[in-house]
Amino acid sequence: MANARFNAKVNAEALTAEIQRAAGRGLRNATEHVLAVSNQRVPHDEGTLERSGAAVVHEADLLGVVSYGAPYSVVQHENLDYKHKPGRTAKFLELAVREEAEVVKLMIAKHLRQVFK
């Protein structure tokens, strides 16, 4: 059996900080992606609801939030009885989050892999 020895100096604090930054970048890209997918489905008349969408990342907590700020956004999102133009639907954000979950994971993983090259 062959043995190999090596010494490695790892600055754990620096590595942790770099991982945190990379995860934050990935999360930022991922939340913007979810917002873009959601915007393709958001009910659209004048575009106010779509323009009220935002993707925000709190990098310290690695928390990503996609939201819509129009006063009627919750009603539009939740009411399944409303009629929408083709391709537009209720549950626009929920569907985007569910359907893009794997893409979101891959986007974050891409940034994390760069740390360990």
Task: State CA 70 to chain mean position distance.
Answer: 20
Q: Would 2 be classed as within a structural domain?
A: no
Residue 18, domain extent = 13-115
The answer, as to whether pTM is greater than 0.75, is yes
Flag whether pLDDT at 6 surpasses 80.
no
pLDDT tens digit sequence for 21-39: 999 999 999 999 999 999 9
Per the structure, the count of domains in the chain is 1
What local confidence, expressed as pLDDT, does residue 1 receive? 72
What local confidence, expressed as pLDDT, does residue 117 receive? 84
Percent of the chain whose pLDDT exceeds 90 = 85
pLDDT tens digit sequence for 74-103: 999 999 999 999 999 999 999 999 999 999
Instruction: Compute CA distances 84 → 25, 91, 96, 100, whole Å.
Output: 34, 12, 17, 22
Q: Would 80 be classed as within a structural domain?
A: yes
Q: Would 4 be classed as within a structural domain?
A: no
What local confidence, expressed as pLDDT, does residue 105 receive? 97
Q: Would 111 be classed as within a structural domain?
A: yes
What local confidence, expressed as pLDDT, does residue 10 receive? 81
Structure tokens belonging to residue 116: 């360990």
